[in-house]
Structure 1
């Protein structure tokens, strides 16, 4: 796992995103937002889900253009690495901002 430097410049628009909102996809995006890239198996381990469940969620995020995957050989085995695209990072941060607005507007 490699750390992602904070993005400079423009803030993501506050936009609730139904693709990201599903709990496991939200967790995937949160993990990916904190790094440049992360190995599929580590995400699977941290989320405590099967490879097929994670693969389905990643496919939805990839179809939306939010996640890219890269395959590489490491230790003589093929590994899959995941990363947020710029579009995915902006969508995730916008979604989080929209959720914060909802929480901040809740009556005390």
Structure 2
């Protein structure tokens, strides 16, 4: 991957802030695995309050990454989350960037020397 000027682009530069946030990445991953995830399951798995989960779902829905469906299971109201095609693509791209970052770390035997030391400042 390269920047617009043709120089190599660091993989961290392509991380999507909407997707990369811990809870939202968890929601997308669970929705990908389950195909259709129920609100209560997401809340339990990610150890969230209902309000916190609702806010994250709103962000993902506004970005077009998930669809939220409300309905009933028996007499109880339920909310289900489904990953959209756009969400699947965004998740795959995020995972690819993370794999590039992991590969960079794994191929580095020793930490690089700092390029900016206090004496340089």
Normalising by structure 1, report the TM-score. Answer: 0.83
**Higher normalized helix content (fraction of residues):** 2
Report the counterpart of residue 4 of structure 2 in structure 1: none
| Aligned residues: CA RMSD | 1.3
Please give the alpha-carbon distance, in whole angstroms, between the structure 1 residues aligned to 2:63 and 2:43: 20
Instruction: Quote the residue 1:63 is aligned against.
Output: 62
Write the distance in 2 (CA, Å) between the matches of 1:95 and 1:44: 22
Moved over 6 A (4+): none
- Looking at CA atoms only, which structure, 1 or 2, has the larger radius of gyration? 2
Q: Distance in 2 between matches of 1:93 and 1:41?
A: 25
* Residue 48 of structure 1: how far off its partner (Å): 1.0
Match of 1:43 in 2: 42
The structural deviation recorded for 1:26 is 0.8
CA distance in 2, matches of 1:84, 1:28: 9
In structure 2, what is the Cα distance between the partners aligned to 1:53 and 1:38? 16
Q: Which residue of structure 1 aligns with residue 53 of structure 2?
A: 54
**1:19 matches 2:18:** yes
Could you tell me which residue of structure 2 aligns to residue 4 of structure 1?
A: none
Aligned length: 95
Show the 5 A alignment for 1:25-104.
25-104=24-103
- With a CA cutoff of 8 Å and minimum separation of 6, indicate the structure with the bigger relative contact order: 1
